[in-house]
């Protein structure tokens, strides 16, 4: 698949993606979004389990894979075989990065650890995503995102105080680790421009979560405070909550600044609230948070979400409805910024998906194709890149190495 499209910032970067599920592959998706040639290695015959993940199917296909593997090339290699390991070693000199999310030690057992691969390519950047990182007493443990979310701090504070800790509706731990992995990869790439040396980018899923935990750690260290679940509110930051609407929905309103709160009070027809000693300052509103939320809810319930949104917009108060896919697809702002785009898939037709984030003004990312069929790029990589003959390709296929 030649590059008949505007240049992208990572066009000159090639990545070999090993591993499966989400925590590694989402990093590959992000790099591929910006033009990197990501060659994904999958077990012959089966492929990545993500080919089967996703709740709803269309024409027998899962609808997660087309997004997670967009822009990637798929090749098959059985990494457990010496021939398969030799193929990886032949590819490594041609790539800038190897991305992997096996259990630490798995690649080493296959003779494909950092020592072996960096000896073949000193500029190699090896991006290693795992449950607990490449060092430390837990390094050998198998890890899923759910465990990283639990130990990284987000589960303890998600949900309502009188209910058990709850999952966020997406695999946030995996995606966070992958996002930090992509950041690490680009930082390492910048460093490589200075000295030509590659390095290992090592992140445990729990660390990607921990990195977002705001002041949770020093709050405990210095004050003994253990952050708890608080539902929809930010304790002492008010008003910021979901408020009921007359048409049975919810509107999120964030008016937790003196200026904005004064405008909300005007919109409510109760401008005196802004000077009321219970609500006039940030601290006062924090102290009377529940009382204030009740006042606002008693007002919002009289109007539909559309009416409220119009009033909030008129008065410059941050507010938004709680969208599902349905609202996103018809929202004029999403449409204007092309936040969701249609990508052609040979089997599914046009499939709508989230576009590349963020927007780059001069060399934006983009999506050329959806997740490819298993081994779709075997010939391109093994013959065109590595120079194997058609006979060698056929022999590897017959032995199920690829």
Residues near ligand OXK (CB under 6 A) are 20-24, 41-43, 77-80, 101-103, 106, 129-131, 142-145, 171, 174
Residue 122 near residue 197 (C-beta atoms within 8 A): yes
Provide the minimum distance between the beta carbon of 305 and ligand OXK in the complex, in angstroms, as a whole number: 33
Nearer to ligand OXK, 101 or 309 (CB): 101
Is the bond leading into 358 cis (omega within 30 degrees of zero)?
yes
- Cα 239 to Cα 247, 268, 310, 315, distances in angstroms: 22, 13, 19, 15
SS3 of 89-115 = HHHHHHCCEEEECCCCCHHHHCCCCHH
- Residue linked to tokens 């499209």: 5
Please state, as a whole number, how many other Cβ atoms lie within 10 Å of the Cβ of residue 271: 13
For residue 370, give the DSSP letter: P
Nearer to ligand OXK, 35 or 104 (CB): 104
Provide the minimum distance between the beta carbon of 53 and ligand OXK in the complex, in angstroms, as a whole number: 7
Nearer to ligand OXK, 134 or 339 (CB): 134
Provide the minimum distance between the beta carbon of 121 and ligand OXK in the complex, in angstroms, as a whole number: 20
Q: Is 140 a catalytic residue?
A: no
Provide the minimum distance between the beta carbon of 135 and ligand OXK in the complex, in angstroms, as a whole number: 14
Nearer to ligand OXK, 208 or 365 (CB): 208
Nearer to ligand OXK, 41 or 265 (CB): 41
- Cα 244 to Cα 84, 176, 252, 270, distances in angstroms: 58, 31, 9, 19
**Kind and range of the H or E run holding 184:** helix 172-195
Cα(152)–Cα(42) distance, integer angstroms? 29
Provide the minimum distance between the beta carbon of 142 and ligand OXK in the complex, in angstroms, as a whole number: 4
Set 48, 78, 174, 293: catalytic member: 174
Strands 240-244, 61-62: pairing kind = unpaired
Q: Annotated active-site positions, please?
A: 174
């Amino acid at each position: 698949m030649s590059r008949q499209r505007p240049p992208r910032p990572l066009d000159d970067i090639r990545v070999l993606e090993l591993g499966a599920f989400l925590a590694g592959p989402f990093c590959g998706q992000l790099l591929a979004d910006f033009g990197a040639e990501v060659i994904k290695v999958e077990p012959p015959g089966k492929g990545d389990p993500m080919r089967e993940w996703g709740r709803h199917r269309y024409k027998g296909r899962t609808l997660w894979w087309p997004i997670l593997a967009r822009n990637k090339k798929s090749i098959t290699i059985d990494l457990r075989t010496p021939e398969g390991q030799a193929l990886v070693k032949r590819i490594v000199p041609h790539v800038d990065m190897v991305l992997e999310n096996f259990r630490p030690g798995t690649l080493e057992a296959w003779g494909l650890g950092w020592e072996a691969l960096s000896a073949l390519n000193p500029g190699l950047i090896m991006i290693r995503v795992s449950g607990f990182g490449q060092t430390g007493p837990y390094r050998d443990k198998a890890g899923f995102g759910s465990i990283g979310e639990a130990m990284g701090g987000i589960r303890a504070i998600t949900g309502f105080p009188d209910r058990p800790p709850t999952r966020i509706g997406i695999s946030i731990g995996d995606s966070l680790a992958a996002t930090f992995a992509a950041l690490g990869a680009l930082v390492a790439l910048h460093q490589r421009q200075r000295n030509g040396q590659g390095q290992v980018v090592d992140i445990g899923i729990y660390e990607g979560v921990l990195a977002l935990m705001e002041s949770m750690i020093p709050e405990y260290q210095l004050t003994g405070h253990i952050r708890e679940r608080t539902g929809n509110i930010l304790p002492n930051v008010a008003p910021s909550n979901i408020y009921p609407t007359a048409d049975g929905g919810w509107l999120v309103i964030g008016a937790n600044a003196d200026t904005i709160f004064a405008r909300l009070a005007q919109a409510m027809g109760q401008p005196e609230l802004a000077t009321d000693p219970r609500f006039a300052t940030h601290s006062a509103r924090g102290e009377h948070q529940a009382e204030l939320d009740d006042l606002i809810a008693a007002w919002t319930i009289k109007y539909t979400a559309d009416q409220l949104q119009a009033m909030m917009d008129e008065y410059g108060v941050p507010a938004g409805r709680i969208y599902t896919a349905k609202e996103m697809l018809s929202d004029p702002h999403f449409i204007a910024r092309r936040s969701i785009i249609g990508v052609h898939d040979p089997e599914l037709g046009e499939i709508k998906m989230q576009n590349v984030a963020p927007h780059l003004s001069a060399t934006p990312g983009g999506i050329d194709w959806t997740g490819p069929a298993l081994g779709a790029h075997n010939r391109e990589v093994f013959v065109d890149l590595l120079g194997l003959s058609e006979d060698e390709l056929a022999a590897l296929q017959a032995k199920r190495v690829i």
